[in-house]
Amino acid sequence: MTDLLSELEATHAQLVAATVDDLSAEQVLTVMERLQKMSWASATVDHKLITQLEELGPEALGGDKVTKVLTHRLRISAEEARQRGADAEALGPRRAMTGEVLDPVMPNVAAQVAEGRVGPAHVKSIREFFTALPDHVDLSARVAAEELAAGHASTLGVPDFRAALNRMLLWLDPDGSFNDADIQRRRGITFGKQGADGLIRVSGHLTPEAWAVWEPVMAKNAAPGMCNPDDEAPCVTGRPSEAQIKADHRTKAQRQHDALLAGGRMILASKKLGKLNGLPVTVIVTTTLKELQSGAGFGITGGGSLLPMRDLIRMASHAFHYLSVFDDDGQALYLGRAKRIATPAQRLVLFSKERGCSAPGCTASFYQCQVHHAAQDWIEGGETNVNELTLACGTDNRKVGPDGWATRIRDDGRCEWIPPPHLDNGGPRVNDHHHPENLLNPYKEDNEARPGPPQSGADGPDPDGE
């Protein structure tokens, strides 16, 4: 495999260096078509490799899941890693308990992919189609549907192919007779990544039971005049006044948003959710004194999202939240404790310092993290002092061990994660995902080779600040 890959890399280098100036439009399109075919066909190798990693198991991967290893080693998004893993599960080779090699779950689609006739968007559509199929559709119909889908995928563009799959779904289930198992399988709500404007896109499906619960809540709190943030004293209980109703110019979607916000506040204010990783379930925000005094900029929540200062100041009036304020240097207070369990105050200090899991490439927020003894493990005599602790998600916390990852606190106070030799790709050992400002600073120790923002003056500022 490695010799073949070396030959492929050499050929690819020649292809990259080749000129295209003498190609006609038709020749350019033909070359692009052939390149795309090779790119699509190479997914078959990817499926084999991912299947092999799955068979080797977590022990060979430093205790991590395959998707997380791919995200770290290949520097791809978690979503892409999940998609590639799902494709490999459907299209990769399988092995029986007896060692016998079996056909892929979708053999006809896998064959078309191997020939470069079907791309990742087609494959994703096919997987979604079979996920939507009701349980009562029998095996013979599923086998025929897979063969038919593979044939259409090799000739149709993605929009037309999706339309064909939707029509096939109607043929297989003309009455839409989804049973409870189908409904439960499709339930779910997805919160997208925060956009540049601060907004988060929400999508998904509620079960009839879930909507029956929220329906009266919306009927009450999303009615005109209710929970209106534009009112000086919003009505959140009882009936709104006629003046409040007439002054309400929000859309229905905006009223439903505000009803969800009010409902969330009520739930947090009830204090009935218990604790999350050692702290009461509530909104936790960190900011600097300078930003708080100016009323500009953003605070950072325990979930890693940005909260505009105007919203933070408004939320402070509702209480039930933790607000952690530090100076511009972000210096953490020293808090010592002779017990293994970190105090709530120590957790807040770690949140302000690290904001989320400190393992390189991990996107887990503070709300998803545990406190980890980074300088020395507790069972080996490590102390629960805030300058010896770090934040780690459950997955990363568990992968630290004699034959796995190791952690240490550097002189600058940051936690460094040292991978086992077979996972060391020379990448970062600290996590700047929660500190994107570090990636833009050309004078940070960990970012000397990274491009930074343009500086005024010929030489730029002194890195030592002098």
Tell me: the pLDDT tens digits for 167-183?
898 888 876 666 778 78
The residues, ordered by sequence, that sit 6+ positions from 363 with a Cβ below 8 Å of its Cβ are 78, 304, 356, 357, 433
Q: Is the pLDDT of residue 207 over 60?
A: yes
The 10s digit of each residue's pLDDT in 105-159 is 999 999 999 999 999 999 999 999 998 888 888 899 999 999 999 999 999 999 8
pLDDT-based confidence at 368, cuts 50/70/90? confident
What b-and-e string marks burial along 409-444, b requiring 16 or more CB atoms within 10 Å of the CB? beeeebbbbebbeebeeeeebbbbbbbeebeebeeb
CB 417 within 8 A of CB 429: yes
Q: What is the pLDDT of residue 257?
A: 96
Residue 35 pLDDT grade (very low, low, confident, very high; cuts 50, 70, 90): very high
Sign of the dihedral defined by the CA atoms of residues 95, 98, 99, 103, in that order = negative
| Pairing label, strands 406-409, 389-393 | unpaired
- What is the pLDDT confidence band of residue 443, given thresholds at 50, 70 and 90? very low
Model pLDDT, residue 324: 57
| Minimum mean pLDDT range among 18-27, 107-116, 263-272 | 263-272
Does the pTM of the predicted model rise above 0.85?
no
The pLDDT score that the predictor gives to residue 458 is 38
Segments making up each domain of the chain, as ranges: 29-182, 195-270, 277-450
pLDDT at 146: 96
Q: Which two tokens stand for residue 135?
A: 């349980």
With beta carbons less than 8 A apart as the criterion, state whether 373 and 392 touch. Answer: no
Helix (H), strand (E) counts: the chain: 18, 14
